[in-house]
Amino acid sequence: MADGSIPAHDDAAGDTNTAPFNARTLELREVGPDTFLSVDLWQPLGNRGVFGGQVIGQALAAAAKTVDGPYQCNSLHCYFLAAGVNTEMIAYEVRRIRQGTSYSTRVVMAKQSGRIIFVAMASFQRPEASPLDHQYAMPDVPGPEALISQEERLRRRQARLSSVVIDQSKIDEYSMLPVEARTVPTPAEQRGLPVNAVWLRARGDMSGLGHVHHQSMLAYASDFALLGSTARPYHMDRPGSRYQLSMMVSLDHTIWFHAPFRADEWLLYVIESPRAASGRGLGVGRIYSRDGVLVASTAQEGVVRGTDRETDHQTFEFVKSLAHAPKL
């Protein structure tokens, strides 16, 4: 597919994801020259702001509306400056920085109430063939058909752990997302390099939509689980964990597109966290099509703050002992 065309549906795989695709998640309304307004924003339960992946996807969609011809996004670099709210739609202002023969560049500023809350720089490339072609191999993991949905995963976890109470609204929220996910089981993590793998695909049939829609949908989905991988070695979601998460929020996000794909077909998202320190955590990801092609790579850094209950307890006991120590 050196021409950059979107692969056709693989009917032999028995895909049943044929409901109409709900494009409202990424839909934009033009309100001025190179200025677009969102029509839908999702704020996850318990989040301090709207879902960052939706802002990323909408920003890419806005940038693409100002690019003509066969150009396709090859990279997107984003910075989150402030939390967005879902009570006011986001305005995306696009600046045409460069229009070259092979590459074009756009800058997108996302605003609410006149304040910039998000900035992205997108690069678009005219498709070209190259004899240089290599990639990391796709890991051998169970296929999505052998795994359960995220909603069912929550239900089973609640049944297995009587001490864990999962709000039904959280399960309902998963089922309403435009992306469905199935987590690949991994061995118990050890301190070191946490690895997570998730099968993702857009709900509904995206046939007839241009490649930018598939790229924008994957940009949306690429924000799932990426920063969360930085907390996996500490088992913060388990009862009795000595570590407690106090803050997790994205600072920046990057996605590189390598090859054509369909966002409405299963894609394997392999995520690692090579480092967490100084109140920040780094997650990196590789996204593969079902046939093993590495179609995209991601990276995200965020504020990741937590407390160590054991250390805090020891510090408290030490300070308390000083109060009762004999005066010298």
Catalytic residues: 223, 250, 300
Query: Beta-carbon neighbour count of residue 82 at 10 Å?
Result: 12
Instruction: Indicate the DSSP class of residue 205.
Output: B
Instruction: Give the containing element (helix H, strand E) for 105.
Output: strand 103-112
C-alpha–C-alpha distance, residues 39 and 53, integer Å: 15
Q: Give yes or no for a contact between 124 and 71, defined as CB atoms under 8 angstroms apart.
A: yes
Measured in degrees and rounded to the nearest 5, phi and psi for residue 178 equal -75, -5
**Torsion angle, alpha carbons of 178, 257, 43, 91, to 10:** -110
Handedness of CA 143, 186, 137, 282 (dihedral sign): positive
C-alpha–C-alpha distance, residues 242 and 187, integer Å: 20
C-alpha–C-alpha distance, residues 106 and 125, integer Å: 12
Instruction: Indicate the DSSP class of residue 139.
Output: P
Q: Which residue has the tokens 């997650």?
A: 283
What are the residues whose beta carbons fall under 8 Å from the beta carbon of 105, sequence distance 6 or more? Answer: 97, 98, 121, 122, 123, 124
Q: Give yes or no for a contact between 49 and 90, defined as CB atoms under 8 angstroms apart.
A: no
C-alpha–C-alpha distance, residues 142 and 150, integer Å: 15
DSSP notation for 206-221: -TT--HHHHHHHHHHH
Indicate the SS3 state at residue 130: coil
C-alpha–C-alpha distance, residues 96 and 79, integer Å: 18
